[in-house]
Chain A
Amino acid sequence: KAGVTQTPRYLIKTRGQQVTLSCSPISGHRSVSWYQQTPGQGLQFLFEYFSETQRNKGNFPGRFSGRQFSNSRSEMNVSTLELGDSALYLCASSLSGYRTDTQYFGPGTRLTVL
C-alpha cells in the first residue's frame, strides 16, 4: 500500500496570502489529522477529520481550516498568512481515528512565509 502523501512538499508564500495543503491518506483509512511543527512550539494538533466531518479541533485561530472529501483526502487552508505560520505541516491517517488506532504520518509540507 502507498503511504500517506502530502502536496506540495515545499511552499513559499508572503504575508497576507492564503495557502491550501493537501493530504492523501493510506487507502482504506478514513481518519485524517493535521499537525503543525515549529522549532519554538514543537508539534501541535490542528484538527481531525473522519468521514468528511471535523471530529476534533486544537487551539488554533479560525484562519486555520480544513475539510475532508468523500474519498478521505483532506485539505487544510490557512488564510491571511503570518510570519509565525512558517512551519512543517504534517498529516496523519488512521483506519478509524479510534483512540487507540496507530497513526501513519506523511512526509509533511514545509511552509515558509516571507
Chain B
Amino acid sequence: KNEVEQSPQNLTAQEGEFITINCSYSVGISALHWLQQHPGGGIVSLFMLSSGKKKHGRLIATINIQEKHSSLHITASHPRDSAVYICAVRTDTGNQFYFGTGTSLTVIP
C-alpha cells in the first residue's frame, strides 16, 4: 500500500503546453512538498503546502486537504522543465515522510 500516489508516471509535452501532475495521499498530513529532481540526482524543493495554493513563476501548486489531493501545474512549459517531479508528505502523527514514485516529465522543443 502506497501512502502517496502520483499520476501520470511519465509525461511528454510540447514546449508551451500546460502541464498538470497529480498527487493523492491516504494519511493525515501536516505538510505536502513538491520536489524537482534533475538527471544527476540533485533535488530542489519547489513548494511546501499545508493549505490553498502557491505560485512561483510558471509553477502553481494547489492542495485540497478534504480530498487529500494536490496538483502541480506548469504553465508555458519549457525544455528546461524536463525533470522528475516528486510529491512528498509529512504526516501529522509520527512525523514520518512518505514519497510518491515521481512523474518523469520531458518537454520537447
Question: Which residues of A line the B interface, CB within 8 A?
Answer: 33, 35, 37, 42-45, 48, 55-56, 58, 88, 90, 92, 99-105, 107-108, 110
Contact A99–B95 (Cβ < 8 Å):
yes
Instruction: Pick the residue among B50, B86, B95 that contacts A56 (CB under 8 A).
Output: B95
Nearest-neighbour CB distance to chain B for A88, whole angstroms, equals 5
Q: Is B7 located at the chain interface by the 8 A CB criterion? A: no
Please indicate the chain B residues that have their CB under 8 angstroms from the CB of A48 in the complex: 95
Contact B95–A58 (Cβ < 8 Å):
no
**Interchain pairs with CB closer than 8 A, number:** 52
Q: What string of 1s and 0s marks CB contacts (under 8 Å) between B78-109 and chain A?
A: 00000000101010101111111110000000
Contact A108–B41 (Cβ < 8 Å):
yes
Please indicate the chain B residues that have their CB under 8 angstroms from the CB of A105 in the complex: 35, 42-45
Rounded to whole angstroms, the CA-CA distance of A58 and B97 in the bound complex is 8
Question: Which residues of B line the A interface, CB within 8 A?
Answer: 30-31, 33, 35, 41-45, 48, 50, 86, 88, 90, 92, 94-102
Classify the interface of chain A: helix, strand, loop or mixed. Answer: strand
Contact B96–A56 (Cβ < 8 Å):
yes
Please indicate the chain B residues that have their CB under 8 angstroms from the CB of A110 in the complex: 41
Contact B99–A42 (Cβ < 8 Å):
yes
